[in-house]
Amino acid sequence: MLKITNLHASVEGNSILKGINLEVKAGETHAIMGPNGSGKSTLAQVLAGHDDYEVDQGEVSYLGKDLLELDVDERACEGIFLAFQYPVELPGVNNTYFLKSALNAQRKYRGETEIDAMEFMDLIGDKIKLLNLKDSLLKRPVNEGFSGGEKKRNEIFQMAVLEPKLALLDETDSGLDIDALRIVAGGVNAMRSKDNATIIVTHYQRLLNYIVPDYVHVLVDGKIISSGDKALALELEEKGYDKIIEESKA
Amino acid sequence: MKALDNFKADFENTLQLSKGLIKEIRSKAFEKFISEKFPTRRDEYWKYSDPSSILKLDLNYNDSGDFKDDNYDIILSNGRIVKTLSKFKTGNISDGLDNGDVPKEIFKEEKNPFLNLNNAFAVNGCYLILDSKTKKDVKILNVINNNSDCQAVYPKLIIIAKKNSDSTVFEEVKVVGEGINFVNSVVDIILEDGANLEHIILDDYAKDTYSISNICVKQSKDSNFRSHNFSMGKKLARRDYNIELLGTGANCDLYGLYFVDGENHIDHHTTVEHKKEHCTSNEHYKGILSGKSVGVFNGRIHVHPKAQKTDAIQNNQNLLLTDDAIIHTKPELEIYADDVKCTHGATIGQLDEKALFYLRTRGLNQKEAQRLLMRAYVGEIIDNISNGEIRTRMMNIVLDRLPKGD
């Protein structure tokens, strides 16, 4: 589904990603772990298409297309979803109206008919239960006045409605208490299928107890220095990043 | 100056059309207008809008032309009444003065030359008495009918909201035909004790329109005035609100939305005179400027010594969509009472890049994302209109006129 080859990216002249290689197949869940400043979030932002990041070198192929040639919204319409580490507040933009506009933009892109109001309400009614969110949040402006946990759940709720092929979860666990973490993980797990894939960017192993990855990659200073299965995440938690970095150099 | 000579000739030629009280009022007003110097950019309140451009025009008085539209209760064409409905107490201002419906105290010597000029040309004009205790809606169309190529028109409307009356007046100003217009309009609004009036004004001028519009409001005890002002500017467009809170417990809410593009110009000067205690004013104006347009907002709150317990809020926000668009915004607070609450604020900004990126990651393209954010921005003003039908209509008109984004 996604193949990243020797990806280099920088922001304002500072090189952050220094040769990433990663292949993600449909049905797989990959976790990318790493210390602060290693480039984890940058990788997620570059894949989503943020203009602040300059791709200096490398290729990214997604479903047979050159991903780097696509605009942000085209990537979204092709099925890439970024769950933000810090979801943006949109004062005055009603949550339901926003979601409906987004879903219809994607349907239009794919040549499908727009969803009607009744069908849409049924759809979001089902999904909102999955994330245990209050109905009242639908009538409020997007993320405005939401608690930290509500914002993160709202991200996964949007993901449930938009049904992406490739989900990028950027530090979705940060700021969540244990109960919220379970709910968010439950939402993500409910959407896992053989046709879609998930990349989880995280600091901590904690989230991976709930969303069990098929692969774990350790990203340090813009490069993947070690890859393995879920056991690698446990090893990291036990030994810390420094030890793994030392071992990789040996 | 060309225009000043024309004003004089037009005034002399039209004076014989008036009889009774209005003739005297017109003469005094013209005398005052002509005796004072025409404002220039050196005058503080005209610093960013140059009225002298009007003086260069070869203007001719025009009040002819007809117009029909079943959607409106009252229609003025170039300031002259061409339609009224008998269910409303309304008529020509000169008749209203003679029969006592319109108190002659409304007309006095004004400081503002454009108020004097409008009074000097009060050949026509319409008054409207609102006396219903159950809510009444009135729709007024002010047509600028251009069948000569460079014309001066002086629409005048006097609205008197009687004691404890409750009404909504929707006033639309539009231009038919092509050519240069100088539109010098005045709306005088009087709210008696306990009167409740919602006034919505929408203008849509043609490109060569110079518009100087004044809305003067006098509020008595416990009256409530809600104003919604939608303006799209043009060559030179200025609208002033002069609100006088003359009785205790009076409240005014002033909402405004202006959007200009190209090389168009919009200027709003608003003044709220807090003259008595326990009055409240709440003003919220928003602008969207693109192209090389210029906007001016000057909001003045004047709290007089007697006006203790005043609660006044003023806020002006501006969205600049292009590098060449300009906004001059200035709050002006003058406070002579010591137990008052006044707040003001002004912001200038662009559409939030983070918000645009967020929307785009959900599948909306750049244009759709911009429009969604602009819709939210204007919604904050439009949502205050209490009449659902007018609110929906205004939202549609505004969405249609919003800059299309890039």
CB-based contact (8 Å) between B21 and chain A? no
Q: What is the mean pLDDT of chain B?
A: 94
Query: In the predicted model, is pLDDT for residue B339 greater than 70?
Result: yes
Task: Note the pTM of the prediction, 2 decimals.
Answer: 0.88
Return phi, psi of residue A160, to 5°.
Answer: -65, -35
Q: What is the pLDDT of residues B252-297, one digit of tens each?
A: 999 999 999 999 999 999 999 999 999 999 999 999 999 999 999 9
Query: In the predicted model, is pLDDT for residue B406 greater than 60?
Result: no
Query: In the predicted model, is pLDDT for residue B129 greater than 70?
Result: yes
Q: What is the mean pLDDT of chain A?
A: 92
| Minimum distance, in Å, between the CA of residue A179 and any CA atom of chain B | 27
Contacting residues for A59 by C-beta, under 8 A, at least 6 apart? A3, A4, A5, A6, A7, A66, A68
Least confident of A172-181, B37-46, B70-79: A172-181
Q: Say how far apart CA B256 and CA B296 lie, in whole Å.
A: 13
CA angle A79/A22/A17 to nearest 5° reads 95
Contacting residues for A107 by C-beta, under 8 A, at least 6 apart? A113, A114, A115
* Tokens representing residue B371 in the block: 């429009």
Q: Output the pLDDT for position A243.
A: 84
The bridge status of strand A141-142 relative to strand A65-66 is unpaired
B165, B195, B228, B193: which is closest to B387 by C-alpha? B228
Query: In the predicted model, is pLDDT for residue A115 greater than 70?
Result: yes
* Tokens representing residue A121 in the block: 């309400």
Query: In the predicted model, is pLDDT for residue A11 greater than 60?
Result: yes
What's the one-letter identity of residue A244?
I
Query: In the predicted model, is pLDDT for residue B183 greater than 80?
Result: yes
- DSSP assignment of B347-378: EEE---HHHHHHHHTTT--HHHHHHHHHHHHH
Q: Say how far apart CA B63 and CA B68 lie, in whole Å.
A: 16
B183, B251, B187: which is closest to B211 by C-alpha? B183
Q: Output the pLDDT for position B149.
A: 83
Q: Say how far apart CA B176 and CA A192 lie, in whole Å.
A: 61
B contacts of A88 (beta carbons < 8 Å): 352, 354-355, 357-358
Contacting residues for B128 by C-beta, under 8 A, at least 6 apart? B74, B88, B89, B90, B138, B140, B157, B158, B159, B160, B169
A233: alpha, beta or left? (left if phi > 0; alpha if psi -120 to 50): alpha
Query: In the predicted model, is pLDDT for residue B405 greater than 70?
Result: no
Q: What mean pLDDT do residues B86-91 have?
A: 91
Q: Output the pLDDT for position A246.
A: 84
* Tokens representing residue A226 in the block: 């070690």
Q: Which of A50, A51, A109 sits opposite B363 (nearest CB)?
A: A109
Distances (CA, A) of A160 to A83, A156, B242, B269, B360: 11, 6, 53, 49, 17
* Tokens representing residue B373 in the block: 């954010």
The bridge status of strand A29-33 relative to strand A53-62 is unpaired
Which chain B residue's Cα is nearest to A161? Answer: B362
B155, B216, B228: which is closest to B191 by C-alpha? B216
Neighbours of A110 (CB within 10 A): 11
ipTM of the complex: 0.96
B362/A98 Cβ within 8 A: yes
Q: What mean pLDDT do residues B129-146 have?
A: 92
- Residues B127 and B93: beta-carbon distance below 8 Å: yes
Q: Output the pLDDT for position B404.
A: 65
CB-based contact (8 Å) between B347 and chain A? no
In total, the C-beta contacts within 8 angstroms joining chain A to chain B are 71
Q: What is the pLDDT of residues B200-220, one digit of tens each?
A: 999 989 889 999 999 999 999
Least confident of A114-118, A203-207, B402-406: B402-406
